[in-house]
Amino acid sequence: MKQLIVFLLCYTCFSTSITVAQVPQMVYKTDNYWQQQANYTMEIDMDVTSYQFEGQQNIVYTNNSPDVLNKVFYHLYFNAFQPGSDMDIRAQTISDPSRRLSHNTGTKEDPVYESKIAGLQPDEIGYIKVKSLLQNGKSVNYKVEGTLLEVQLNQAIQPGEQVNFDMVFTGQVPIQIRRSGRNNKEGVALSMAQWYPKLAEYDEEGWHAYSYIAREFYSVWGNYDVKITIDKDYTIGGTGYLQNPETIGHGYAQKTVKTEGEKLTWHFIAPNIHDFTWAADPNYKHDTLQVENGPLLHFFYKNTMSEEQLKNWKELQPKAAKLMTYFSNLIGPYPYKQYSIIQAGDSGMEYGMCTFIRGEVELESMFRSTVSHEMAHTWFQFLLASNEAKHEWMDEGFATYAEYKAMDVFYDENKLNPWEKSYNRYIELAQSGLEQPLTTYADRYELNRSYSTAAYHKGCVFLAQLGYIIGEDNLDKTIKTYYNEFVFKHPKPLDIIRTAEKVSGIELDWYLIDFAQTTNTIDYAVKSINKNEVILERIGKMAMPLDIQVTYTDGATEDFYIPLREMLGDKPTSATILKDWTWVLPTYSFETSKKIRSVQIDSSGLMADVNSKNNRLSLK
């Protein structure tokens, strides 16, 4: 097999002159910050009949930490798709298993769930097998535990030291069950996500060597150089920039050079990224669309779909271009030269420079429910690379926030609260008794539905409600500043809060603690009205600043704002600012200049009060 170099895999632009320098360089180490770096060179040879592949990999690993490393860990994600794996067992034991991982062999009323993984045959399972591993040219000892490879180093890696790891490996692509796999429900041959031996991340909290059970990922930043050799009839789309379009064709170049043999070798590079993903199919149609002042968009979809479905993919393209521009303005500029939308996988899922989505769906569903969310993930996780295993709400929730905000604009809905769906879902969870705090590890939620509501919807509410606290303009500035300061890094919850504090001048540690680290709820009530006096009551454990609207008996209205003392500041407002309310006091009173007819707490609905029925009181 030829010597091979793999970086993260993504299909790319037509030009071969793109270099790493065209993407802003990452800062791996400063006086106050460090992160590890792993530069991958990989080469694989894929057999599209057996779905097995042979691979070689070189990783240049730089230890930017102040710590001496005596071992390293790799993720072998494909090993999850084997009977008896942690993913299999979890699917059998959780009380509300994912439909992706389980069959219901019973009835709707009396379900009997069986794990799909448990029934896989030897030629259907997934695996990555390590044949050899060298550290700086010398063999090292290692052992495999499920989806993890633990490597005992021959020589410890010193702070600031750079080492080479060379690996020879083989793999088998599993039947499509979750994210990765072959021959999905829509007939896509290869959905290659998390397909290669991948170094685990090490940061100031130590190693993040998680078993692959159900949730998502946390990866090392670096550069990828990848070569994929595959049957010449297969079209590839994914991460990175194609370096040899003239010898490949398949929609990457107008003029091609005829090549001999039954296979083609695709060469991609992907700079400044933390994952490499690709998909391949012999029936892919490949379209491109240039975004003005933005990337080249690639679209890969099956040409065997119905005429209506093919039309949907054409109509999706200008919408996706508009969305790319919107998110770049809302959050920060998209820094890469290409982005791909690919019919692949088991549903919508974000990856580096690309996303996998379903293709045989209505245009409205494809754009509004999938592409809008997955494209938002380009910023919230693939550029602002939070740890999805620990802080899943920072990517899912923030992407949901951006998705709903964008759709409100795209469809001219002009809602007072574009995130109302997330508020309702969060409140339903908070009232159910099943809520766990956002500090819960993604795989440790007792129920899948609790995870989903917390990660997607409470995470969305966290950001939208932050705008209620500091003001919408300050939130917009916070998001842009957060991007500028933490792009190509691994931000944590404190980073978004400290950014908001610096932008707004308001103290916000209380908000992070109460809303993300506990299950305390917000519940305020208008307790009584006596002529021109209002008495408010805090029933929930979590304190908040309050927007109050008073309607007088003469029909006039007046807005009031009650700061929370712990904020040590006020949001910008045109309302009448009253004295602050400390969290230790259960009630609060104020007087108005005229006789009152009614009082309304938070008419915007942007405060996540779990009982809105007591937020309004009217006198007869």
For residue 595, the model assigns a pLDDT of 97
- Proportion of the chain above pLDDT 70, given as a percent: 96
Residues 152, 473: Cα–Cα separation, whole Å: 51
Q: Residue 325, Cα to own-chain centre: how many angstroms?
A: 19
- Return the bridge partners of 365, or none: none
Mean pLDDT confidence for 113-118? 96
Band of pLDDT at residue 17, cut at 50, 70 and 90: very low
Tell me: pLDDT of 1 over 70.
Answer: no
For residue 168, the model assigns a pLDDT of 98
Tens of pLDDT, residues 265-296? 999 999 999 999 999 999 999 999 999 999 99
Nearest to 144 by CA among 129, 159, 155: 129
Band of pLDDT at residue 219, cut at 50, 70 and 90: very high
Q: Per-residue b/e over 42-51, b at no fewer than 16 CB within 10 Å?
A: bbbbbebeeb
Query: No. of H helices and E strands in the chain?
Result: 13, 33
Tens of pLDDT, residues 180-217? 999 999 999 999 999 999 999 999 999 999 999 999 99
Tens of pLDDT, residues 231-245? 999 999 999 999 999
Nearest to 603 by CA among 416, 340, 359: 416
Tens of pLDDT, residues 409-459? 999 999 999 999 999 999 999 999 999 999 999 999 999 999 999 999 999
Tens of pLDDT, residues 375-412? 999 999 999 999 999 999 999 999 999 999 999 999 99
Residues 6+ apart with CB under 8 A from 296: 12, 13, 14, 288, 289, 290, 337, 338, 339
Burial label, 1 (beta-carbon count in 10 A; 0-12, 13-18, 19+): exposed
Mean pLDDT confidence for 65-85? 98
Residues 15, 241: Cα–Cα separation, whole Å: 8
Mean pLDDT confidence for 476-482? 98
Q: What is the DSSP letter of 4?
A: -
Residue 136, Ramachandran bin (φ over 0: left; ψ between -120 and 50: alpha; else beta): left
Tell me: pLDDT of 23 over 80.
Answer: no
Residues 310, 296: Cα–Cα separation, whole Å: 20
Residues 566, 503: Cα–Cα separation, whole Å: 17
- Crossing angle, helix 307-330 and helix 392-410, to 10 degrees? 110
Tell me the HSE value of 34 on the side-chain side, using a 13 A CA sphere.
Answer: 15
Cβ of 370: how many Cβ atoms within 10 Å?
21
For residue 9, the model assigns a pLDDT of 34
Identify whether the C-beta of residue 275 lies closer than 8 Å to the C-beta of residue 353.
no
Tens of pLDDT, residues 359-374? 999 999 999 999 999 9
Cβ of 96: how many Cβ atoms within 10 Å?
14
Tokens of residue 443, six digits: 């795989």
Mean pLDDT of the chain: 95
For residue 27, the model assigns a pLDDT of 79
Tell me: pLDDT of 559 over 70.
Answer: yes
pTM, two decimals, is: 0.95
Measured in degrees and rounded to the nearest 5, phi and psi for residue 195 equal -100, -10
Burial label, 259 (beta-carbon count in 10 A; 0-12, 13-18, 19+): middle
Nearest to 203 by CA among 470, 390, 466, 408: 390
Identify whether the C-beta of residue 406 lies closer than 8 Å to the C-beta of residue 376.
yes
The full length of the chain comes to 620
Cβ of 120: how many Cβ atoms within 10 Å?
19
Band of pLDDT at residue 22, cut at 50, 70 and 90: low
Q: Give 312-331 as a DSSP string.
A: HHHHHHHHHHHHHHHHHHHT
Residues 157, 170: Cα–Cα separation, whole Å: 27
Tell me: pLDDT of 14 over 90.
Answer: no
Tell me: pLDDT of 13 over 70.
Answer: no
For residue 45, the model assigns a pLDDT of 98
Tokens of residue 433, six digits: 């008794």
Tokens of residue 406, six digits: 């964008």
Residues 290, 562: Cα–Cα separation, whole Å: 49
